[in-house]
Structure 1
């Protein structure tokens, strides 16, 4: 097959070229089947004879390795299919390899095949087009010449296929291809890994790191799509044996811990990331955001914000975000302060810091929003209204800006204007409880309790629906294939640090 494949360049006729390609694929398919049968028979023989040699040689079970041609026989069929864009045939070959009887000789190769299958699934198929190993692909994926294969494939014994699939896949992960990939991750990452820092093993260590990073990156994409951040963080913790002076793995672990709510651990990991890349402001800003928002560690958040500011011009566009983070810590510290003098001093520092951030990024509507909010907190309503109008001109449909506008109208006792704004915001963001709470309060004051009760009933119905969904997801938390429903929870108008990489997000 390999010889025929290399001789196609000398063929001028298109018809003859198609015939040659079919011959090549036929050879690869036969070699692929023979190689699988050989390995299965070898496994039986070695299990029966234990320490006996293979056909008179001195090669024992533990020493046997796949030869070049044996590995090529297993690999050539699905590689050729995928190169030609035959996704169905390529996935069929990959899945059959992953369902074959396990041998020690094929562990590394099967990990490579599982990684390639994961890459195909993530790159070439959407979730709407996915089909499980025990079901048929969508009709648009199956051409006429391939339909006969699937007719035969469906005649195979279901129990036999199930038993083969369970060889590499735990029962609770059944019917999902990524499940076949997940159990092999520790095997791939830890088996034959080189973690020695000896200079003579530098190249081998680099190969181990590259392979482990590729596997864990695929796992991050797969589990991230399903909201399985706890499982992802546990898997990435196992990768820390490779993570000496490796920023990528440390940062992946930090992001997974932030996503699954392990905020205190995330800050510790982000500190290590900052040591590896002290000039990267995004790491410091993320640490500041976690400290300010999730943990309310204001002193820690202030420290990280000042580290960004200390970078100066090297921080680039993130310098304004650094001043924003520092202003948030001052404002929250003022809220927590007991003495009036301390509150006034911190509010003044917060206002000056926000103004500095606005000078650095005059087109950033979030910074202007927080400046307006700080002015409102110190009861400078007119100035707050002027700045808020600037923010709304830059982003007319920002939820927090509309919410603050309604609150400013209510502070001036313009309740009808406030209700008009809040109703407009609720139309855009119907699932925001903070907007609905404000609407209830305004209706109660301006229109009476009966109007407010109607909104209360609506909000309770919506809360019950969200609560039932969260309870359902919590009851199935033990299952690793349960997808966590993504529910947008719009927070109230609080002082929070926006994402450094997403200037359009006004939520925490």
Structure 2
């Protein structure tokens, strides 16, 4: 074989290696066996590599079926072992052989043997130099496998020093794997198919590097594990910096889905693991320094937006994640796209759940609502997205629209009582549609499953009857509805005697029927179950006054106001009690406090800085804020304000 022909064959082989065409590599390798002992060793290496990679592509590493894998990789192991000796050293491919043997051992579950091969390859002492795409991938996977082997190592370190040393080595391996992996993907996108490079780990080969469609399971695992092992090691800030470094790397076609995962994970870390006092914002663009060969290229520019606080960075990450998830959404409802569609939907749902937490926490309800409206375009039949959308509409005060959305959710999950309860709550609390609310409550009651807190649906039925009784003009209708309400509340108490709301509403019903002794009994039961429930304290105070125990009532209301200083209902009762006891100055002071609270609350609402729309906030928002909003309603809404109590969403 002439030198020109041999070079052409080698070039074609390297093209096939870069493209993952392993069967073609095996066919072309036959032409290299003649002419030189080095060619014989190179041919063994290429066939062993091709058989190894081809087997792993056809048999992904799922589960621990190591016996089958060992049998399938017996021949590649034999071929690669043949070139780890003197002939392989002379041919310059022993290093590559050890790295591939380490990968083979990892696939077979032989983690210790894999680490031994890395020691033989002197992986820790390799110096940075230019590499071909194939060599970049081998090296990136080698560091990834080393990190995974160290993480899964059964033998525990004998001392604290050894444990720290192992942990540091594992973190370093994952970090190098992420840097080399991202660099490999960038080079894969940027290298034209006709480009050649003659600097490789195996000194006798050339490389042609066309784009490769997949990064491989090992690399993808390493890219996601790198920050996680830092978090497990208690190095939270280093984990955040690692996320930021990976996200600031120039994007490639292969990393788009990975970028979605990383951005979502970093947002989750910032939401759940970082408080404002320990948050460190990302640094700006650093001065240009000497380019490191084994570091990925990053976005550079003067006008890039850099978040200044935790809120900005979290929202930015989630908006980026949302954009990527919308881009990946599958609109086709054909059965053949079911798996892909479900995977994209799962990613989008995770992003929207986090976006809900972040936007509600920082009062950005309109942003959340806009995001859900975009999500509806690809969320046909996805009840979770529709339910979240309905809750976001309620938080914006768009109650009628929210009710229609919950009715659609009811259609999507006909056996789940929760959407019907949400609809009933909107009807009772915000829309004044008591007949419709009662209808939804009865629907929920008919769907209740055994053991799933049946008292909540029963309670809502009783509330519906109670409100209808209050609205009725005819005595016959009022008596009928009060009787039905009393029966429903009593049944709710029987179903769950540990629910303070059941006892509270039963006490309220007895009070409306002028049965003060029974009302007092049940309100004491409610307070025994939850002493800090402000509506129960309010009703208890009123019942004490009905029994002419005014001093006791004043003591109760003053104690309650220490817990709820802005509760207008309690302040109203206090002012009346002070007037009754001939304390006009104290009563005037109390009324002035009420006016100040009313002014502050409603001015903030007018300016757009107050409540986002009533007690439904208790579903997702901070419970104390929700109760404050409900407690500062005007007096004529006193009864309806109880639905906004933070525990009234307890049917979750």
The residue that corresponds to 1:144 in the other structure is: none
1:372 CA drift (Å): 1.9
Whether the 8 Å CA contact 1:78–1:91 is kept in 2: the answer is yes
Name the counterpart of 2:282. Answer: 133
State the alpha-carbon separation in 2 of the partners of residues 273 and 206 from structure 1.
Answer: 18
What's the CA shift for 1:496? 6.1
1:284–1:307: 8 Å Cα contact kept in structure 2?
Answer: yes
Deviation at 1:127, TM superposition (A): 3.6
Q: How does 1:409-428 map to 2 (within 5 A)?
A: 409-428=544-563
Paired residue secondary structure (2:380): coil
> Which stretches in structure 2 are left out of the alignment for 5+ residues?
1-139, 197-206, 290-297, 613-620
TM-score by length of 2: 0.61
Please give the alpha-carbon distance, in whole angstroms, between the structure 2 residues aligned to 1:177 and 1:98. 12
Deviation sequence 1:90-123 (CA, Å, 0-9, x none): 3213213333445556443322321221233234
State whether residues 274 and 283 of structure 1, in contact with CA within 8 Å, keep that contact through their aligned partners in structure 2.
yes
Residue from 372, 381, 402 that aligns with 2:537: 402
Distance 1:110 1:205 in 2: 19
1:295 maps to 2:434: no
- The 2-side partners of 1:224 and 1:379 are apart by 42
- Indicate which of 494, 497, 504 corresponds to 2:639: 494
Matched residue, 2:265: 116
Whole-Å separation in 2 of the counterparts to 1:156 and 1:303:
68
In 2, the alpha carbon distance for the partners of 1:74 and 1:309 equals: 49
Per-residue CA shift, 1:446-472, capped at 9, x if unaligned?
324322112123334444555676677
Structure 2: distance between partners of 1:59 and 1:401: 74
Distance 2:406 2:385 in 1: 11
1:292, distance to aligned residue in structure 2 (A)? 0.6
Q: Equivalent of 1:88, from 237, 251, 255?
A: 237
* 1:101-180 to 2 correspondences below 5 Å: 101=250, 106-134=255-283, 164=301, 167=304, 176-180=312-316
Taking structure 1 as reference, are residues 330 and 133 closer, same or farther at Cα in structure 2, changes over 3 Å only? same
Matched-pair contact (CA < 8 Å) for 2:453–2:496:
no
Q: Which residue of 2 aligns with 1:344?
A: 479
> 1:230-278, CA deviations, whole angstroms, 9 ceiling, x for partnerless residues?
3223212322234333332222223333333332222222222222332
> Any idea what SS the aligned residue of 1:379 has?
coil
Partner of 2:323: 187
Distance change >3 Å, CA 21–CA 183, structure 1 → 2: same
Unaligned 5+ segments in structure 1 are 47-51, 136-152, 478-482
Q: Which residue of 1 aligns with 2:361?
A: 225
Matches within 5 A, 1:299-448: 299-311=435-447, 314=449, 316-448=451-583
Cα distance, 1:363–1:503 mapped onto 2, change above 3 Å: farther
Q: Which moved more, 1:434-443 or 1:271-280?
A: 271-280
CA distance in 2, matches of 1:489, 1:500: 9
CA, structure 1 residues 447+54, in 2 after alignment: closer, same or farther (shift >3 Å)? farther
Quickly say closer, same or farther: Cα 1:407–1:93, change in 2 above 3 A. Answer: same
Q: Which residue of 2 aligns with 1:235?
A: 371
> How far does residue 171 in structure 1 lie from its aligned partner after superposition?
8.2
Match of 1:251 among 378, 387, 394: 387
CA, structure 1 residues 304+65, in 2 after alignment: closer, same or farther (shift >3 Å)?
same
Alpha carbons 1:232, 1:256 under 8 Å: kept: yes
SS at match of 2:629: coil
Question: If the length of structure 1 is used for normalisation, what is the TM-score?
Answer: 0.76
Q: Tell me: higher relative CO, structure 1 or 2? Use CA pairs within 8 A at least 6 residues apart.
A: 1
Q: CA deviation at 1:39?
A: 7.6
Contact 1:358 1:367 in 2 (8 A): yes
Cross-structure match for 1:3: 142
Q: Mark the CA change 1:192 to 1:70 in structure 2 (over 3 Å): closer, same or farther.
A: same
Aligned partner of 1:215 in structure 2 is: 351
CA distance in 2, matches of 1:10, 1:402: 59
Q: What is the CA–CA distance in structure 2 between the aligned matches of 1:175 and 1:341, rounded to whole Å?
A: 57
- Contact 1:132-1:175 at 8 Å conserved across structures: no
Q: In structure 1, what is the equivalent of residue 123 of structure 2?
A: none
Which residues in structure 2 correspond to 1:27-46 (within 5 Å)? Answer: none
Distance between the aligned counterparts of 1:456 and 1:497, measured in 2? 22
Distance 1:247 1:165 in 2: 43
Do the aligned partners of residues 294 and 163 (structure 1) sit closer, same or farther apart at CA in structure 2, a change above 3 Å counting?
Answer: farther
Closer, same or farther: CA 211–58 of 1 in aligned 2, 3 Å: farther
Q: Matched residues in 1 for 2:302 and 2:219: separation? A: 22
SS in 2 for 1:134: coil
Confirm or deny: 8 A CA contact 1:431 1:490 kept in the other structure.
Answer: no
Q: Which moved more, 1:495-504 or 1:442-451?
A: 495-504
Residues 505 and 201 from structure 1, CA distance in 2 versus in 1: closer, same or farther, beyond 3 angstroms? closer
The 1:66–1:420 alpha-carbon spacing in structure 2 relative to 1, beyond 3 Å, is same
Label 1:469 to 1:37 Cα distance change in 2 as closer, same or farther (>3 A): farther
Give the 3-state SS of the residue equivalent to 2:328 in structure 1.
coil
Per-residue CA deviations over 1:323-371 (Å, capped at 9, x if unaligned) read: 3212212221222223333333322332232233233333433222212
User: Structure 2 CA distance, aligned partners of 1:331 and 1:502?
Assistant: 19
Shift of 1:133: 1.1
Deviations 1:1-48 (A, max 9, x none): 5425537669999889977876776676566556767888999x89xx
Say whether the 8 Å CA contact 2:260–2:325 is kept in structure 1: no
Is 187-196 or 463-472 further displaced after alignment? 463-472
